[in-house]
Structure 1
Amino acid sequence: MIGCDLGSNTLRIVQIECQSKTRIQAFERIVRTAKDLHVTGKISETSKQNIFNALFEASQIFDFKNERCFCVTTEAMRVASNSKEILQKIEATFGLKFEIISGEKEAYLTSLAIENALSREGYNHQTYALFDLGGGSTELTFCKNGTKKSQSFPFGIINVAERYTEDRELHVTHIVNSIDTFVNQQDPIPSTFLQLVTTAGTPTTVAAFLKGLDYAHYDANVVNGTVLHVKQFEEAYERLSAMNEEDAERYTGTNRRDLVVVGILIVKAIMQKLGFESCIVIDDGLREGVALEQCYNLNKS
């Protein structure tokens, strides 16, 4: 089963063996779907070309024509005025039909992947607080004994990094306050939900960086299940901010240092808001959830 996630920053694709729920192969490329979107209201020509280049590369790896393949796309395509024409061209070129899903569906599918990963890594997979910090949106899920409540918020590392180049910590604090109403509706969070889980590029990049892995040698197996304290995010922020561009890019990937640094500020603000000093980092995310949902549907039929 193949699951594709065209996000606001990254195209991520995975093939999963349904019986064992394990990855056969995985692929990801930074495509910056949401670059300049808040200014123009459109997916740019550069971003569009990045997406097509990445899909062409992926088509050499995955058998899209003969394998079951399910594709979703998220916040950037939800808001872009030209998303329909781009997705139609993708379908005509690659035969891949991308569905624009809601933030709530995105949170649900991501939670399927997180629960599978938590179980695999030896953690409680029935009770957790989760945040998925994307390029254009952030999803929060609170799960207690398998009962979930989720909400999506329209802020992510790309739209925050592009909008605010000065006084970022102040702006991030203000932006993260937008989760207050949803958070305040929950039972006392750390004591009720026991563990905080996070997924997406910023926490996984920080976990890899602190383990000495550079971007070219990123290994999801090394990152999955890593527990990071808020002070370790602060350490990564200081070290990455102090590096010259070339050294930083070795760890964050090309043109990603700024996004990761902004992402760390958002991660710290959310952790503080939720009352956790540490979090479990999981690489599995929306693409795995897309594939797993279809695996579960196959089992039911």
Structure 2
Amino acid sequence: MSRAESAGSAREERGGRRSLGFAETFAAIDLGTNNCRLLIARPARRGFRVIDSFSRIVRLGEGVSLSGELSETAMLRTMEALKICAEKMARKGVTFSRCVATDACRRAGNHEQFVERVRRDIGLKLEVIGTDEEARLALTGCLPLFSKEQKRALLFDIGGGSTEISWVALPEPGGGNKPEIIDWLSLPYGVVNLAERYCEGAVFRDDYEEMAEEIAERLRPFEESNAISARVATGEVQMLGTSGTVTTLAGVHQKLPKYQRQLIDGYRIDFTSLERAIDQVADMTLDERAAHPCIGPERADLVLAGCAILQGICRSWPVGRLRVADRGLREGILLGLMAEARRHRGRPHHRNRPCAPAPQRRAQ
């Protein structure tokens, strides 16, 4: 079974420390531009215990940057994956769920028709969320990985159609406050539409450098607005990345014979090692990328576009070390659902609300 399409059965605990105290089953679907991913979990002593999962590359947003609409082929691919998600949820007796769609559906002119087809044919209610909600959920899902040593953090998620970057203020050690998103940026480039912008087919080294420079240029106003580099220079900033790009590079760097989440989630990699891993991927042929156990055929053509986005981020803010997160939106959804269920114990099927403070402003 490939990394891109998996049905996880390993029991693993994620999230915070509190449990609900009663037996319910929760599900979260994150439908992005490139991936359709599901987590099913039950409350546990330290947050929740994953009882099933699923991930498939569907490329829902393929061509949206050019046509402005979801294609029929992409919608059918995605609906097949969503059917599997719905079947798994039914088998596990899910009682609370939330299914969110992000950039591809935000941008597509025909997304409402797609949402209706999913509701009618599969029975899932897709919620198209904004970039602010996406940033809050990712922060909530990644909270356990932040270090207590630094007061500021850059959290980013390289998606298929956009890259979300949050500038976060972390609470003082022992303080009761929650992290606060000071500012966030939704960069309109992810691995799918950046690749479509530069080339037809797979991305290679010839396009890579120009891509990285464009991303760095696009980040300049966000830097100027927040003066992040000044805090980077004094060692106050940590960097955390949640995306297939960073998890792939962590696997490549460790020379893993297969993708192993327990060796990836929370892994720290310095920028020099990150650069070496990117160079290794850039020097591979398409067949070599497809054969690599941490890349695979589904990611082989687009992985270097993600590396270019990552390189642009690292050049803009040379923190020196990156922490890798194989978690994010889905975990944030689950923690929100459980918090909502705790507040409404005994009342059926309440949808979650944001679990992290709302951002104060948005960079353009």
TM-score by length of structure 1 reads 0.90
CA offset digits 1:56-103 (Å, max 9, x no partner): 223343327743110111111001111111111111122211111111
Q: Which moved more, 1:122-131 or 1:105-114?
A: 122-131
- 1:232 paired with 2:273, answer yes
| Cα drift, residue 172 of structure 1 | 3.1
Change (3 A) 1:225 1:66: closer
Q: Which amino acid aligns with 1:141?
A: S
Whole-angstrom CA distance in 1 between matches of 2:312 and 2:66: 25
Whole-angstrom CA distance in 2 between matches of 1:57 and 1:262: 29
Whole-angstrom CA distance in 2 between matches of 1:125 and 1:12: 31
Name the counterpart of 2:163. 138
Choose which of 238, 242, 260 in structure 2 pairs with 1:219: 260
- 1:181 paired with 2:181, answer no
Change (3 A) 1:192 1:91: farther
Q: How many residues align?
A: 296
Unaligned runs of 5+ in 2: 1-25, 172-178, 200-205, 345-364
Name the counterpart of 1:205. 248
- 1:50 paired with 2:77, answer yes
| Cα drift, residue 210 of structure 1 | 2.2
- 1:75 paired with 2:103, answer yes
CA offset digits 1:29-48 (Å, max 9, x no partner): 10111111111111122211
Contact 1:204 1:223 in 2 (8 A): yes
Name the counterpart of 1:156. 190
Identity rate, percent: 28
- 1:279 paired with 2:315, answer no
1:247 counterpart SS class = helix
Q: What pairs up with 1:103-118 in 2 under 5 angstroms?
A: 103-116=131-144, 118=145
Q: Which amino acid aligns with 1:161?
A: A
Whole-angstrom CA distance in 1 between matches of 2:215 and 2:317: 15
CA offset digits 1:103-148 (Å, max 9, x no partner): 11101100000103x16xx766974221111111111112222222
Q: Which moved more, 1:11-20 or 1:263-272?
A: 11-20
Whose radius of gyration is greater, 1 or 2? 2
Whole-angstrom CA distance in 2 between matches of 1:28 and 1:93: 20
Q: Which amino acid aligns with 1:140?
A: I
1:129 counterpart SS class = strand
Contact 2:253 2:274 in 1 (8 A): no
Unaligned runs of 5+ in 1: none
Whole-angstrom CA distance in 1 between matches of 2:135 and 2:150: 15
Whole-angstrom CA distance in 1 between matches of 2:168 and 2:262: 25
Q: Which moved more, 1:187-196 or 1:132-141?
A: 187-196
Larger fraction in helix: 1
Name the counterpart of 1:62. 89
TM-score by length of structure 2 reads 0.75
CA offset digits 1:269-294 (Å, max 9, x no partner): 10110221220000101111111111
